[in-house]
Amino acid sequence: MIRRPRAVAETLIVVVSFLAVAVFSAGCTSESHSLDGTRWRLTKGTLNSLNPAKFTITAQFANGRISGSSGVNTYGGPYKLGTDGAFSVGPLASTEMAGPEPAMRAEAAYLTLLGQAKSCKLAAGELTLYDESGNASLIFVATHE
């Protein structure tokens, strides 16, 4: 007695299960293929000698767009998230108000690093953006503000 249809079905189930695990474990796509509906506050980053926690730097994702406070001004623009964790923003628009010099430096560094982000990862309530070399450049924590 040949049971090939069952063997094919079992193989298909294994392949589909493997693909599902691969898709859901990739980069920012661990929970979904979108960051839409999430809000974040910057807590760590490579902003030179500036501590990002001293400034109000936020990111909110909705309808394929990112927006938030960049320290002094507000910013916004489109973002893209690939199924492999690839991430990009831009072009970004920003208000042009002046503020204290340290906040202006933090803002300039943040917007530069955000524009250079090439991938991301979601884990344990943190969103980490990485540059093209794979270095973590911006680390956010989830917020409900």
Residue pLDDT, tens place only, 83-124: 889 999 999 999 999 999 999 999 999 999 999 999 999 998
When divided into structural domains, the chain yields a total of 1
Q: For the whole model, what pTM was predicted? A: 0.77
Per residue in 69-80, pLDDT tens? 999 999 999 999
Question: Which residue, among 82, 78, 81, has the nearest Cα to 90 in the 3D structure?
Answer: 78
Long-range contact pairs involving 128-132 (C-beta distance under 8 Å, separation at least 24): 129/87
CATH of the domain at 16: 2.40.128.270
Per-residue pLDDT, 17: 35
Full domain range(s) for residue 101 = 4-142
